[in-house]
Structure 1
Amino acid sequence: MRAFFYPAAVAVFGVSEEPRNLARNIIHNCRSMGFEGDLYPVGKKPGEVQGMPILTDPEDLPRGVDLAVVLVPAPRVPEVFDACGRKGIRHAVVSTGGFREYEGAESRVEREVLSVASRHGIRFIGPNCIGVISTGSGLCTPFNPLDTGRFQKGPVGVISQSGGVTTQAAYTFSDEHVGFSNIISAGNKLDIDEIDLLSFLLQDEETEQVHLYLESIERGRDFLRLVREAPKPVVLLKANVGRTASAVARSHTAALFNDDRVVQAAVRQVGVVRVETIHDMTVAAKALTLPALRGNRLAAVSFSGGFSVILADACEREGFVCPPLPRDLVRKIEGYRRGGVIRMSNPMDLGDVHDPMGVVFALEACLGLDSIDGMALSMIYDEQMSRLFGGRGASKEQILSFAAGLSERFEKPVALSFFTEKRHVEDFKALGKYPVFNDAVESVRALRMLRDYWVRRGEGSAGAQGGM
């Protein structure tokens, strides 16, 4: 499987000099992303792409090509596979569409593709996919134009049944400063499917979490066994859950409808984190880097009465409780108030505490309570408030280091968000020193994902389990 992600040499079939040719984009994407291996464009007519000659006879390919990317009309795929087999190429990405997603059933061409692949020992991803984007090797096989300079390396591997979702996931994970290790578009899964890809990513040293977008799960028992034994978190965005979607999904990737009630019940048992949007994949990815949340008792802390109320509603909605704080602790925190006009409770509004020592004391004391499992912290940020954490004015890095220190010292998750200008939120996220959520509600949703993961893995309080 490694050759799909870290090949030394790649042949791209279907390339021409025509400006509208899609296969030439594969060459461009690989080069712009920094792929340092050898690239061999192959096409029907001679020419040049990215300074490389287009080979018109596959027999001219050298030995040692690890991967073929195939974008030719469907009836020509078997002959391309035959040529690959003769040259010792044993791995392929078939981007070509027009198979069962178009005809509605297994076609003659599919049978020929499988027969030739079996004869030569070729394993392939697709058809009807855009293949692999690997930040480790720079391999980038999508045929659509991409701004690869925006892609960020990170710890998340993504498996997607949709090319469009693949592209959007690459941008979304990068824009949220989560990053990704490998993203794979699986397409019709005629040969390699999510089980094969999941098995690889669970062993890949550059991948710490695996996220999947699936429209169908064909080998359900194998999937559940893999996830149950997985040493890494698995996040699932399962689409095609209704009758309306099933017709679209079948024409899109030949996906079969799965009863979502069965899927839901099964994945809950093995600790899969279920999400509904690509953005929520990134929320889960951030949450799963925090210490384990082993219960449903939160301290919800803000520097605004309004955001304390928002946190309270979010906690209740996600199945959390905010236990009352001990009276002696409340009195000590209230002793730091400047105006004495805000009564302390949980959720807590620290808007009247202007003493940095008081803020630190309140946060540490809450996290130190045995009755508290984690914290949702919604902070205000401006140049004035930043002085709370560093005398003359703490940097964004210092603020994130403070939050990271709290979480690490007490071994409890602190889900951090800011109410401030959007540019400041983006700056905090870009630093990558500690997970930052986009708003208070998102931070509580993240804690729910974290809680459900640990509870369903059997390492949290059963009373904490909520809905996915």
Structure 2
Amino acid sequence: MLSPFFKPQGVAVIGASRNPHKLGYGVVRNLKEYRYQGGIYPINKSASEILDLPCYSSVDEVPDPVDLAIIIVPAPVVPKIIKQCGQRGIKHAIVISGGFSETGEEGQKLEKELKRVADKWDINFIGPNCIGTIDTHTPVNTTFVTGMPESGEIGFCSQSGAMVASVIDWARGAGVGFSRIVSLGNQVDINETQMIRALHEDDQTRVITAYIEGVSDGKAFMEVAQRAAKDKPVVALKGGRGEGGARAVASHTGALAGSTEAYEAAFDRAGVQQASTMEEMFDWARALAWQPLPKGKNVAVLTNAGGPAILAVDALENVGLELAELTTETKNYLESRLPKAASVSNPVDVLAGSGPGTYAVALDALLTDETVDSVVVIQAPQDWFLPASLAEVVGEVAGVHDKPVITSIMGKASVEEALTILHKRKIPNVAFPERVASVLAAMVKRKEWLDIPQQTPERFTDFDEDEVQKDVSKNDWKSLLQEYGIAFPPEKNARNEKEAIKAAESIGYPVVLKLMSESVSHKTEVNGVKLGLRNSDDVQSAWKEIRQSAKSADVDMEGVQVQKMLTGGQEVIMGVRRDTQFGPMVLFGTGGTDVELLQDVESAIAPLNRLQAEKLIDATRAGIKLKGWRNQPPADRETVIKYLMRLSQLGEEMPNIDELEMNPLYVLPEGQGAYAVDVRGTMVEDEKRAG
């Protein structure tokens, strides 16, 4: 469906210009200059030729074959031009023109009209407000930006045209090759999900990169991205992660930035690796396209200078990677061949006076060592051999091993030739050694994601569906959770002091008293919870204190809940909330009154299989504590895993629930279960409903 955007048989440029300062000139120039082999048909009523190409007064006059139109005319005219393309039989268009939803209400109306006309004539289009497409292998360049990257393996799509223009210029200067580059603009028709699918299907693309401000359909995006990530690395840079950035996104392309946590969870589930910067995204992309994945986290560092090696080691450890413990055989071998003062422990320092031959011996030994999963080669500037000669050596040695090698040949002015050699050998280089850490961490993360079995979540059926629907209709969260197999401590409601004492004696001391009030979500904030009550006098005093607190806070008190006091366990929070883009998300972390203070909460997209539930737990400090912490025994982690899976299923099956939270969920020692101590929930408004 999208092939004509990258391999068109003929291109009509509607709005072509003879003025070298106009976008319509730049598009014609790029099509011609960068060796597009199909027909190029400039449309301009006032010109006879542009760049020696004959002009046409309308698209009707253009000869066959032509299957792509590039439109660069004022926004109000675009719907009319789209209609003319449809009448001519052109089914694909790139609308470079701006002046649509990014400009406000009038632009939004015009954009809707553009979409209506395109749908009527069955036209697929990219844009509006974009800068076009590049396929370096066809080759074709439909942009107006000066320059074109070398042919390569990295595909890039972006919702920002400025990002595309910058990447084109950067790629030319850095000597990094791209397969396809796409500016998506406002994504009125073709969106990021469809483009990721197209890059996945492209044989020349080995790594997919994307600058994303928002996604058109969260579930569809996850499905397509996950399918792509199983075959090719997918790296994304998400714009609009902060509050200010999200506002900028809304004014930039009209995209919904969405919840940062939701995007992180969706990317994680789909195998999309989220970079923090443009530099990081393309550092990762080069390594993932050019190098084999490491089998583990053990890294060897080879250097000629101590300071840069220390920076590299610090950075590696900060991202969870480890220095390999070299074998005795490797150390003995290095000791016999390196200068006497060299360090043969990891990091291996060959010293400043060593040349490329010494590097070659050491690199081969490190790559041969079974304890080493990857190698970082660092060379600080010196004046007794050319960096290019080291690049040749590294390329030759790395080429006979199946382990990743990342170099940091430091400097700028003296390393241009070396970088050219490294790129031809498919060895990624970073200018400063700290950057190797995030590159290797991304490679390890991809390996780990590929190694995780793609299990289907277990479906639980041991509940009464009619009772579940009744519970939801009454907002009876406790009964709903109990239907899904989640336990609560013994409890009773009391409308007065005497009932509270009677309930406490029936349940058995110690007990907890909690304020009952529809108007209060967090009872502790109005002093509405009393713990550790051991006799009737305690209950009586607690009742009076809660009543007085409610009165002082001007809160309607409906009574109290008397609940069994649990001891000897750990408090966690567990919940499900609905994201407008990606549907139900499960959250887990440290619970109780410290939840806002510690902010130790992680999220995952529902539903969860067992491995995904375990991963969510282990991503938090609360999960670490569940395994046993200091004088605290291991808690009942198995029950927590079961509850997470059941809650994730509940979230998926109940699209009318917006939020449902257990805080705290009290987890007793191993084998003794876990109990939802407090629960609150809200229903979703119809216009927010997702999933």
The TM-score normalised by the length of structure 2 is 0.61
Q: Any conservation in 2 of the 1:213–1:239 contact (CA below 8 Å)? A: yes
Q: Which residue does 1:435 correspond to in 2?
A: 427
Q: What is the identity, as a one-letter code, of the residue corresponding to 1:210?
A: I
Q: Which residue does 2:293 correspond to in 1?
A: 292
Once residues 4 and 357 of structure 1 are traced to their aligned partners in structure 2, the CA distance between those partners, rounded to angstroms, is 48
Q: Which residue does 2:211 correspond to in 1?
A: 213
Q: Choose 11-20 or 188-197, whichever is displaced more.
A: 11-20
Q: Which residue does 2:93 correspond to in 1?
A: 92
Q: Which residue does 1:450 correspond to in 2?
A: 443
Once the two structures are TM-superposed, the CA of residue 43 in structure 1 deviates from its matched residue by 2.9
Once the two structures are TM-superposed, the CA of residue 3 in structure 1 deviates from its matched residue by 0.6
Q: 162, 165, 170: which one pairs with 1:164?
A: 162
Aligned residue for 2:371, secondary structure, equals coil
Q: Any conservation in 2 of the 1:161–1:215 contact (CA below 8 Å)? A: yes
Higher relative contact order (CA 8 A, sep 6+): 1
Once residues 28 and 357 of structure 1 are traced to their aligned partners in structure 2, the CA distance between those partners, rounded to angstroms, is 48
Q: Choose 312-321 or 181-190, whichever is displaced more.
A: 312-321
Q: Choose 187-196 or 364-373, whichever is displaced more.
A: 364-373
The verdict on how the C-alpha distance between 1:2 and 1:76 changes in structure 2, with shifts beyond 3 A counting, is same
Q: Which residue does 2:144 correspond to in 1?
A: 143
- Percent identity between the two aligned chains: 30
Once the two structures are TM-superposed, the CA of residue 158 in structure 1 deviates from its matched residue by 0.7
Q: Which residue does 1:403 correspond to in 2?
A: 397
The verdict on how the C-alpha distance between 1:332 and 1:364 changes in structure 2, with shifts beyond 3 A counting, is same
Q: What is the identity, as a one-letter code, of the residue corresponding to 1:433?
A: R
Once residues 45 and 393 of structure 2 are traced to their aligned partners in structure 1, the CA distance between those partners, rounded to angstroms, is 59
Counterparts of 1:66-215 in structure 2 under 5 Å?
66-104=67-105, 107-144=108-145, 146-148=146-148, 151-215=149-213
Once residues 296 and 619 of structure 2 are traced to their aligned partners in structure 1, the CA distance between those partners, rounded to angstroms, is 11
Q: Which residue does 1:282 correspond to in 2?
A: 282
Q: Any conservation in 2 of the 1:64–1:89 contact (CA below 8 Å)? A: no
The verdict on how the C-alpha distance between 1:328 and 1:125 changes in structure 2, with shifts beyond 3 A counting, is closer
Q: Any conservation in 1 of the 2:20–2:26 contact (CA below 8 Å)? A: no
Q: Alignment length, in residue pairs?
A: 451
Q: Any conservation in 2 of the 1:160–1:214 contact (CA below 8 Å)? A: yes
Once residues 397 and 241 of structure 1 are traced to their aligned partners in structure 2, the CA distance between those partners, rounded to angstroms, is 38
Once residues 147 and 35 of structure 1 are traced to their aligned partners in structure 2, the CA distance between those partners, rounded to angstroms, is 14
Once the two structures are TM-superposed, the CA of residue 452 in structure 1 deviates from its matched residue by 1.4
Aligned residue for 2:177, secondary structure, equals coil
Q: Choose 451-460 or 283-292, whichever is displaced more.
A: 451-460
Once residues 91 and 200 of structure 1 are traced to their aligned partners in structure 2, the CA distance between those partners, rounded to angstroms, is 15
Q: Any conservation in 2 of the 1:353–1:359 contact (CA below 8 Å)? A: no
Aligned residue for 2:442, secondary structure, equals helix
Q: Deviations over 1:58-96 (max 9, x none)?
A: 322224211001111121111101111111111000111
Q: Which residue does 1:273 correspond to in 2?
A: 273
Q: What is the identity, as a one-letter code, of the residue corresponding to 1:239?
A: G
Aligned residue for 1:31, secondary structure, equals helix
Once residues 378 and 64 of structure 2 are traced to their aligned partners in structure 1, the CA distance between those partners, rounded to angstroms, is 58
Once residues 2 and 305 of structure 1 are traced to their aligned partners in structure 2, the CA distance between those partners, rounded to angstroms, is 52
The verdict on how the C-alpha distance between 1:52 and 1:309 changes in structure 2, with shifts beyond 3 A counting, is same
The verdict on how the C-alpha distance between 1:176 and 1:386 changes in structure 2, with shifts beyond 3 A counting, is closer
Bigger CA radius of gyration: 2
Q: Which residue does 2:594 correspond to in 1?
A: none
Q: Which residue does 2:412 correspond to in 1?
A: 422
The verdict on how the C-alpha distance between 1:245 and 1:357 changes in structure 2, with shifts beyond 3 A counting, is closer
Once the two structures are TM-superposed, the CA of residue 112 in structure 1 deviates from its matched residue by 2.2
Once the two structures are TM-superposed, the CA of residue 106 in structure 1 deviates from its matched residue by 7.2
Once residues 354 and 106 of structure 2 are traced to their aligned partners in structure 1, the CA distance between those partners, rounded to angstroms, is 68
Once the two structures are TM-superposed, the CA of residue 328 in structure 1 deviates from its matched residue by 5.7
Q: Which residue does 1:391 correspond to in 2?
A: none
The verdict on how the C-alpha distance between 1:294 and 1:270 changes in structure 2, with shifts beyond 3 A counting, is farther
Q: Any conservation in 1 of the 2:287–2:428 contact (CA below 8 Å)? A: no
Q: Any conservation in 2 of the 1:41–1:53 contact (CA below 8 Å)? A: yes
Aligned residue for 1:227, secondary structure, equals helix
Q: 214, 224, 227: which one pairs with 1:226?
A: 224
Please report the RMSD computed on the Cα atoms of aligned residues, expressed in angstroms: 2.8
The verdict on how the C-alpha distance between 1:107 and 1:362 changes in structure 2, with shifts beyond 3 A counting, is closer
Task: Find out whether 1:322 has 2:328 as its counterpart.
Answer: no
Q: Which residue does 2:29 correspond to in 1?
A: 28
Aligned residue for 1:235, secondary structure, equals strand
Aligned residue for 1:370, secondary structure, equals coil
Once the two structures are TM-superposed, the CA of residue 416 in structure 1 deviates from its matched residue by 1.8
Q: Any conservation in 1 of the 2:154–2:179 contact (CA below 8 Å)? A: yes
Q: Which residue does 2:551 correspond to in 1?
A: none
Q: Any conservation in 2 of the 1:124–1:191 contact (CA below 8 Å)? A: yes
Once residues 96 and 425 of structure 2 are traced to their aligned partners in structure 1, the CA distance between those partners, rounded to angstroms, is 38
Counterparts of 1:355-434 in structure 2 under 5 Å?
360-379=360-379, 384-385=384-385, 395=389, 398-405=392-399, 408-409=400-401, 411-419=402-410, 421-431=411-421, 432-434=424-426
Q: Which residue does 1:258 correspond to in 2?
A: 258
Once the two structures are TM-superposed, the CA of residue 343 in structure 1 deviates from its matched residue by 4.5
Once residues 65 and 329 of structure 1 are traced to their aligned partners in structure 2, the CA distance between those partners, rounded to angstroms, is 63
Counterparts of 1:53-64 in structure 2 under 5 Å?
53-64=54-65
Once residues 406 and 299 of structure 2 are traced to their aligned partners in structure 1, the CA distance between those partners, rounded to angstroms, is 10
Once the two structures are TM-superposed, the CA of residue 415 in structure 1 deviates from its matched residue by 1.3
Q: Which residue does 1:238 correspond to in 2?
A: 238
Q: Choose 305-314 or 318-327, whichever is displaced more.
A: 318-327
Q: For structure 2, which runs of at least 5 residues remain unmatched after alignment?
A: 454-613, 621-691
The verdict on how the C-alpha distance between 1:401 and 1:341 changes in structure 2, with shifts beyond 3 A counting, is closer
Once residues 328 and 389 of structure 2 are traced to their aligned partners in structure 1, the CA distance between those partners, rounded to angstroms, is 34
Q: For structure 1, which runs of at least 5 residues remain unmatched after alignment?
A: 388-393
